[in-house]
Amino acid sequence: MNALSEQERLARLRLARTDRVGPITFIELIRREGSAAEALERLPELSRRAGGTGVTPPPEARIDEEVKRGAALGCRLIVWGDADYPKALAALDAPAPVLWTRGRTDLLSRDALGMVGARVASASGQRFARGLAAELGRSGFVVVSGMARGVDAAAHEGALPTGTVAVLGGGVDDIYPSDNATLYDRLIEDGCVVSESPVGARAQARDFPRRNRIIAGLSRGVIVVEAELRSGSLITARLAAEQGREVFAVPGSPLDPRANGTNDLIRQGAILCEGLDDVLRGLEGQGGLFEPRDRWGQSDRRREPEADLADRVLALLGPTATSRDEIIRATSAPAGAVAGVLLELVLSGQAAFTETGGVLRL
């Protein structure tokens, strides 16, 4: 892999910060155009071709300011395509375009397991999370979590001596919740803090699903310790399953609402986890997971798609997400041509990629 020039790295950051350019759009634009710099040049044209009003990247000054803020804090920027971009994350259909890190970036290249659970966790749940995280660390795994109260904090504490990664919803400098400030200081000293958001950004509700996707994406599997039936931890578990990761759930008393979610995961096929041995057995035979996949092949911008292909694709879309493979089969068009049309529809604001790679009409 050739090293990216600094100009291209900054172009990738700028492309990632452009409205309507999510992870899937980001990757497909670079594959189609050859570089982020070329993609930025072509953005207005591509969006207008599908009837949009044009997409304008953020000013270069805004990107320069973000980079300066990161440098002032001693943060490190990793963009998709860098040699040290985490291989586990790169294997996703739509990896995070950019990552800001503080602390031991080397931890991102090691085998990892995610651990999540209830914020208002029981004392026994926190004790179990802390103890299992310590055992996982001694077995050679980095423990990844979200630095939330309860199970997340306990998991980080247990794994700090051996290596732990905290993925934040806000910027890499956003200490949330604030009562985890001491834990944050220890993480940037002995562990690693990671965020896809701009430096200085404060976490908002829409940021946490992206945060959860990175937790799952960095990990070979995700362990859920306590979770109610409607919780962010179950979202992380679902994302892990969709990414081909193993999902482990710690059983609990049916009298405790915090066990309802984990017990339900077990009913749905998650691996019952009562300790380290269950995790190690569950990971046996897991191979080839982190090989990058290219489901689309290369789309050729020099080849104009059929005149009515955009209309045909748009007619197939609705408010419920449709898989890209299903769209290709329904149109009988080359995958590269469909990829190009979908990019134009997304950039024009008529469609959107979902976090799982589907497409819906706006």
pLDDT tens for each residue of 269-286: 999 999 999 999 999 977
Q: Nearest-CA neighbor of 168 among 202, 141, 191?
A: 202
Q: How many angstroms separate the CA atoms of 186 and 191, rounded?
A: 7
What would the two tokens of residue 290 be?
């982190």
β-bridge partners, 65: none
Query: What's the N-to-C CA distance of the chain in angstroms?
Result: 37
Q: How many CA atoms lie within 13 A of 23 on its CB side?
A: 23
Instruction: Tell me 191's DSSP state.
Output: S
Give the integer Cα–Cα distance in Å for 312 and 340. Answer: 13
**Mean pLDDT rounded to a whole number for the chain:** 91
User: Which tops the pLDDT comparison, 273 or 299?
Assistant: 273
- Taking only the tens place, the pLDDT of each residue in 180-228 is 999 999 999 999 999 999 999 999 998 999 999 999 999 999 999 999 9
Cβ distance 210 to 196 under 8 Å? yes
Handedness of CA 135, 155, 248, 216 (dihedral sign): negative
With 0.85 as the threshold, say if the pTM is over it. Answer: yes
What percentage of the chain exceeds 70 in pLDDT? Answer: 92
Q: Between these two residues, 163 and 362, which has the higher pLDDT value?
A: 163
Mean pLDDT confidence for 238-253: 95
Contacts by 312-321, CB closer than 8 A, 24 or more apart: 313/338, 313/341, 313/342, 313/345, 314/345, 314/350, 314/351, 314/361, 317/345, 317/351, 317/359, 317/360, 317/361, 318/360, 318/361, 319/360, 319/361, 320/360, 321/354, 321/356, 321/358, 321/359, 321/360
Kindly tell me if the per-residue pLDDT of 25 is higher than 80.
Answer: yes
pLDDT in tens, 120-129: 999 999 999 9
Cβ atoms of 173 and 44 within 8 Å: the answer is: no
pLDDT of residue 291: 53
Candidate from 130-144, 159-173, 331-345 with smallest mean pLDDT? 331-345
- Is the distance from CB of 97 to CB of 15 less than 8 angstroms? yes
Residue 107 has pLDDT above 70, yes or no: yes
